[in-house]
């Protein structure tokens, strides 16, 4: 069987490492490119002995040449703590990374999929969010380097398709959690689990009344692979997320219960531009990809808690 040659940018990160694993399982040849800003070699250590896996240290803001059939463009820090550390670099990564990878796709005639985000909807005025909603994004706030970078990348994907006939796909990923999240990542699921395991205070920002809809990483990977496997007529953007919506305070209580923790909940200020609610409308993904998430929050949390217990014991 002829293997597909697949490039995964950001492949040593949380989502990227699961995607590399899945693509190897399906008998592809995988090139994992990463600058190790938030990703780690440890995430792909178990793949290094596979002769069809190659790990490449490279920064996506610089041009990159390789012969491939498919490109998944994931390179970009995803946690607010990390993407706000060097906001200029974050927007460069999204915009120049997209230009470099789209240029590569054009040159070698590869399919290319962009990991976009629910953050393109900003603090939404429409709930749940369908793909047709244009969003409510602050262009000059603390989250703008990420939100606007991803929005510009979507524009570039659209324009390379129309102007240069590049075979593009866009998936809008909603909050995703699971094993291999960085313990200091700063995102809510990893923060709460690490705090609960260590019996430290659980830091709820604001009153904890804001909502998010949490998707387990395996469901995301299935959605991404299905989107890539569509034909030329499918472009997206398509929402990939779990529509089960929870208040942040509910998540804190759930994590305390599942870990049997003695932690107390403490309240800290809500960061600026923190969206008050978020839930994907997934009708389009159901119809076009035959996809919907399978893993309930309690089950996914159990698997993630197991991972963090092993990591920090």
Residues in the site for ligand NAD, rule: CB under 6 A? 9-10, 12-16, 34-39, 59-61, 74-78, 93, 115, 117, 173, 175-176
Q: Which residues contact 203 (CB under 8 A, 6 or more apart)?
A: 191, 195, 266, 268
Round to whole Å and give the CA distance between 298 and 227.
Answer: 26
User: Catalytic site residue 146?
Assistant: yes
| 191 binds ligand UDP per the rule CB under 6 A | yes
Residues 6+ apart with CB under 8 A from 261: 196, 197, 199, 255
Which of 205, 234, 246, 284 forms a contact with ligand UDP (CB under 6 A)?
205
Per CB under 6 A, contacts with ligand UDP among 81-140 are: none
Of 31, 72, 83, 146, the active-site residue reads 146
Residue 188 engages ligand UDP in binding (rule: CB under 6 A): yes
Measured CA to CA, the distance from residue 83 to residue 154 in angstroms comes to 18
Taking the C-alpha atoms of residue 74 and residue 11, their distance in angstroms, rounded to an integer, is: 7
Residues in 7-26 that interact with ligand UDP by CB under 6 A: none
Nearer to ligand NAD, 32 or 256 (CB): 32
Cβ burial 168-180 (10 Å sphere, 16+ → b, else e): bbbbbbbbbbbbb
Q: Is 144 in the site for ligand UDP (CB under 6 A)?
A: no
Tell me the closest approach of the beta carbon of residue 175 to ligand NAD, in angstroms.
Answer: 5
Closest approach, Cβ 191 to ligand UDP, in A, equals: 4
Out of ligand NAD, ligand UDP, none, what residue 210 binds, judged by CB under 5 to 8 A for its kind, is ligand UDP
Residue 103 binding result from ligand UDP, ligand NAD, none, given CB thresholds of 5 to 8 Å by partner type? none
Separation of CA 296 from chain center? 18
Q: How many angstroms separate the most distant Cα atoms in the chain?
A: 58
CB of 19 to ligand NAD, least distance (A): 9
Q: Which stretch binds ligand UDP (CB under 6 A): 34-42, 47-55, 197-205, 218-226?
A: 197-205
Smallest separation (angstroms) from ligand NAD to the CB of 36: 5
Residue 58: CB minimum distance to ligand UDP, A: 26
Residues near ligand UDP (CB under 6 A):
80, 175, 187-188, 191, 203-205, 210, 212, 248, 270-271, 274
Catalytic residue list: 146
């Amino acid at each position: 069987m002829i293997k597909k040659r697949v490039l995964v940018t950001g492949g040593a990160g949380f989502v990227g490492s699961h995607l590399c694993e899945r693509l190897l399982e399906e008998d592809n040849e995988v090139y994992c490119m990463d600058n190790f800003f938030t990703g780690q070699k440890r995430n792909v250590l178990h793949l290094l002995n596979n002769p069809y896996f190659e790990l490449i240290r490279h920064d996506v803001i610089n041009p990159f040449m390789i012969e491939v059939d498919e490109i998944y463009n994931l390179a970009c820090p995803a946690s607010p703590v990390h993407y706000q550390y060097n906001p200029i670099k974050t927007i460069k990564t999204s915009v120049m990374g997209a230009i470099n990878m789209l240029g590569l796709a054009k040159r070698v005639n590869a399919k290319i999929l962009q990991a976009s985000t629910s953050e393109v909807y900003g603090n939404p005025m429409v709930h749940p969010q369908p793909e047709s909603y244009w969003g409510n994004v602050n262009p000059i706030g603390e989250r703008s380097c990420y939100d606007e970078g991803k929005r510009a990348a979507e524009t570039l994907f659209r324009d390379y398709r129309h102007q240069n006939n590049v075979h593009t796909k866009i998936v809008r990923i909603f909050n995703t959690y699971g094993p291999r999240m960085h313990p200091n990542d700063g995102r809510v699921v990893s923060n709460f689990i690490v705090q609960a395991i260590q019996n430290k205070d659980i830091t709820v920002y604001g009153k904890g009344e804001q909502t998010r809809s949490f998707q387990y990483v395996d469901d995301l990977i299935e959605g991404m692979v299905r989107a890539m496997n569509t034909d030329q007529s499918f472009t997206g953007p398509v929402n990939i997320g779990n529509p089960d919506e929870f208040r942040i305070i509910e998540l804190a209580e759930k994590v305390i219960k599942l870990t049997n923790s003695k932690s107390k909940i403490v309240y800290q200020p809500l960061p600026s531009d923190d969206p008050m609610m978020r839930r994907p409308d997934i009708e389009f993904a159901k119809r076009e990809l035959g996809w919907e998430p399978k893993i309930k929050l309690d089950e996914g949390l159990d698997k993630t808690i197991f991972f963090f217990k092993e990591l920090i014991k």
